[in-house]
Amino acid sequence: MGKICLKCGYERRDTDVAPDYECPRCQRVYAKVEAAARWQAGEEGRHEAAAPAGRELAAEEALARERAERAEREEQRAREEAARQRAAAERLAAERAEQEQRAREAAEREAEARRRAAEEALARERAEQAARESEARQMAAAERLAREGAEQERRALVAAEREAEAQRRAAEEALARERAEQERQTAEEVAAAAQAREKAAERAAALATRQAEEALARERAAREVLGAKERAVREALALTKGARQELESFEEAARHALAALEAARTAHAARDEAARVVVAAGRQRLAAGDAAVHEALARLEDGRQTHAGRLESAQGALAGARDEVAAAEAKVRDALGELQLARSTLAQQEDAYRAIVGQAGAEAVAAERGLADALHALEATRQEAATEEDAVLREVATAGEGLRAAEQSAQHALEQLAAARAALAAKEEAAREALAEQKVALRASARVLAAAQRP
């Protein structure tokens, strides 16, 4: 919303050219009018008790002065507006003449520049065509190199696959030999341990047998000693029945002999118990040896099962490797198919680009012909204007209209040429973008192929 003048009530617009501090209609300064209004409001507050007639008279005089000032300002504005209109008309006429002269000169210069630009564009187009043909040859060479590299990589992949198969077979044979050697070594170790335990048990049994035999020999010796002593006692009792002292001595000897016999019996019982303990220990050792043999056989069976599991896992890994090789071959085939599709698409787009370039060249030739016709028409117009200069001076309006029509036709021809150039540039840009996209697609396909064929 614009500022409203308190004097005339005019609301300021954005199109007004008067300064911001004064009203465009009454040319009064906003600050002064507002100060006067505030002062008048203050005076009216102070002089509310004054006579109404004096106020009415002062108001009428102020209104008359304001009306006179307003009429004078309106008359001054009218005079200034008329002067501005005359000056504007003169400036407009001069500007139109100058613009017409500049337009003719600019049209000539622009026509010459466009002709030169068309020649330069044609030369650039030919150079770009040569560059594109060279780039196409380079791309064809790159494709041949890529195909050769792909063939070499495929051969290398086949050789690597054969080598992997040979290595797998060698690994299976080595694994079988290693498994057989481990089983043989395990069996030999178990047999050796069993033999060692059997020998130890035999040695323990032989020792226990020797100890039992020694105990039996000592028991027999004690029995023999006991028999001899009994016989001696009988002989002594028979020989010394008459003498009590000898009897007592013999009785004492008998008691000692009985004590020795009891001790011998006790020792024999102890030795017999020891022999039984040794035999039981030998039997326990034999049982432990049997358990160790069974445990060794169980470990041997577990080892066989473990080797069987390892063999199965190795066979599964080999099958997985075969599947991976098959998947890699499928990827390589897919990549080759995509490469062939990209090549066919590139060939189609190259044909379309050649058609677009041919059409753009034809349009450029047509535009150049139209420009030449326009230049000939402009030259004919210039010659007619030179020969009929006096008639042009007398018939300025008619000549001006003809010149405007000629300029419009020339402008139309130039616009057609500009449109044709813009269309040609757009088509060339589209063709370049399409070619760039095809290059990117071809490079991506080549990278995918190389990644798929990489071992």
Per-residue pLDDT reduced to its tens digit, 163-198? 878 878 887 887 878 887 888 888 788 778 767 877
Query: One-letter amino acid identity for 179?
Result: R
Same domain (yes/no): 398, 285: no
Q: How is 282-329 classified by DSSP, letter by letter? A: HHHHHHHHHHHHHHHHHHHHHHHHHHHHHHHHHHHHHHHHHHHHHHHH
Tell me, yes or no, whether 341 and 449 share the same domain.
yes
CA distances from 300 to 4, 36, 163, 304, 384 (A): 114, 124, 35, 6, 122
Q: What is the DSSP letter of 26?
A: T
Residue 108 placed within a domain: no
Contact indicator for 374, 413 with CB cutoff of 8 Å:
yes
Q: Is residue 189 part of a domain?
A: yes
Name the burial class of residue 227, with classes exposed (0-12), middle (13-18) and buried (19+) by CB atoms within 10 angstroms of its CB.
exposed
State CA 436 to chain mean position distance: 23
What letter does residue 37 receive in the DSSP assignment? H
- 455 and 394, same domain (yes or no): yes
Block residue for tokens 């139209």: 370
Residue 286: predicted pLDDT: 59
Q: Are 296 and 193 in contact (CB under 8 A)?
A: yes
Contact 326, 205 (CB under 8 A): no
Residue with tokens 């040695």: 203
pLDDT of 194 reads 67
Judgement on whether residues 349 and 432 belong to the same structural domain of the protein: yes
pLDDT at 64: 78
Whether residue 223 is found in the same domain as residue 294: yes
Residue 410 within any structural domain of the chain? yes
Residues 328 and 452: beta-carbon distance below 8 Å: yes
Alpha carbon distance 337, 286 (integer Å): 76
* d(C-alpha 30, C-alpha 7), whole Å: 9
In a domain, 428, yes or no: yes
Residues 397 and 279 in one domain: no
Q: Would residue 168 count as lying in a domain?
A: no
What's the Rg (C-alpha) of the chain?
67
**Whole-number pLDDT of residue 364:** 57
Range of the domain at 346: 326-455
Domain check: are 253 and 295 in the same one?
yes
What is the distance between the alpha carbons of residues 195 and 191, in angstroms, rounded to a whole number? 6
Q: Work out the angle between the directed axes of helices 396-453 and 244-387 (0-180°, nearest 10).
A: 160
Does some domain include residue 429? yes
* pTM, to two decimals: 0.20
Residue 326's CB: how many other CB atoms inside 10 A? 10
Task: Say whether both 380 and 275 belong to one domain.
Answer: no
Token digits for 218?
Answer: 């000592």
- Last residue in a domain, options 305, 335, 367: 305
Total number of domains in the chain: 2
Residue 386, SS3 per DSSP:
helix
CB of 4 within 8 A of CB of 24?
Answer: no
Separation between Cα atoms, residue 388 and residue 89, nearest integer Å: 27
Are 274 and 364 in a shared domain?
no
Angle between helices 396-453 and 52-239 (to 10 degrees): 10
Classify the phi-psi angles of 27: left when phi > 0, otherwise alpha if psi is within -120 to 50, otherwise beta.
left
Position 128: which residue type? E
Q: What is the pLDDT of residue 37?
A: 86
Judge contact between 285 and 201, C-beta under 8 A. yes
Q: Any idea which residue has 């020795």 for tokens? A: 260
As a whole number of angstroms, the distance between CA 266 and CA 388 comes to 173
**Is residue 175 in some structural domain?**
no
CA distance 226 to 234: 12
CA 211 to CA 6: how far, in whole Å? 148
**Beta-carbon contacts of residue 441 (< 8 Å; ≥ 6 apart):** 342, 345
Q: Is residue 266 part of a domain?
A: yes
CA distance 241 to 244: 7
For residue 267, what are the contacts with CB-CB under 8 A and spacing of at least 6?
Answer: 218, 222
**In this predicted structure, what is the pLDDT of residue 215?**
66
Check whether residue 298 and residue 360 sit in a common domain: no
Do residues 269 and 220 share a domain? yes
The parts of the chain modelled with pLDDT lower than 50 are 49
Which of these, 248, 431, 421, 259, lies nearest to 346 by C-alpha position? Answer: 431
Q: Are residues 358 and 435 in the same domain?
A: yes
